[in-house]
Amino acid sequence: MPKLSVEGFETVEVESGKRLVLAIEQDAGVDILHACGGNARCTTCRVEFVDGEPERMTVAERDVLAARGLSGVRLSCQIICDQNMTVRAISRLAGSGRKDAGHEPAAEIEPPPEWINK
């Protein structure tokens, strides 16, 4: 099982194939935002990779990051846990002023992923 380390939190083992946003929230216990419910629209699920950044990304992730002019971050709702990863959770409910993190992302990546190499 892949290991997930969120800086400042305990390293956990996660089910291979789980969406990273769900692993951060449910396994690592971190209050990451997912305002659009994991649909590659809001970018609030963004993380910075310290180690283990996946080479592949979804077209939806590429497009929304480009549209927002974002670099150096990845969208955790568009990433599958299939290797060990270390990330910084830079977009959390605490301190955001939001009333909740957003509705729960589905178990599978949405929209249906079309993979490219970043």
Interface residues with ligand FES (CB under 6 A)? 34-36, 38-45, 75, 77
50/15 Cα distance (integer angstroms) = 20
- Return the number of the residue (1 or 58) whose C-beta is nearest ligand FES: 58
CB of 60 vs ligand FES, minimal distance in Å: 8
78/43 Cα distance (integer angstroms) = 10
- Please provide the DSSP assignment of 39-98 as one string: SSSS-TTEEEEEE---SEEEHHHHHHHHHHT--S-EEGGG-B--S-EEEEE-SBSTTT--
- Return the number of the residue (10 or 61) whose C-beta is nearest ligand FES: 61
CB of 81 vs ligand FES, minimal distance in Å: 15
- What is the maximal distance between C-alpha atoms in the chain? 36
CB of 11 vs ligand FES, minimal distance in Å: 23
CB of 44 vs ligand FES, minimal distance in Å: 6
- Return the number of the residue (42 or 93) whose C-beta is nearest ligand FES: 42
- Return the number of the residue (18 or 34) whose C-beta is nearest ligand FES: 34
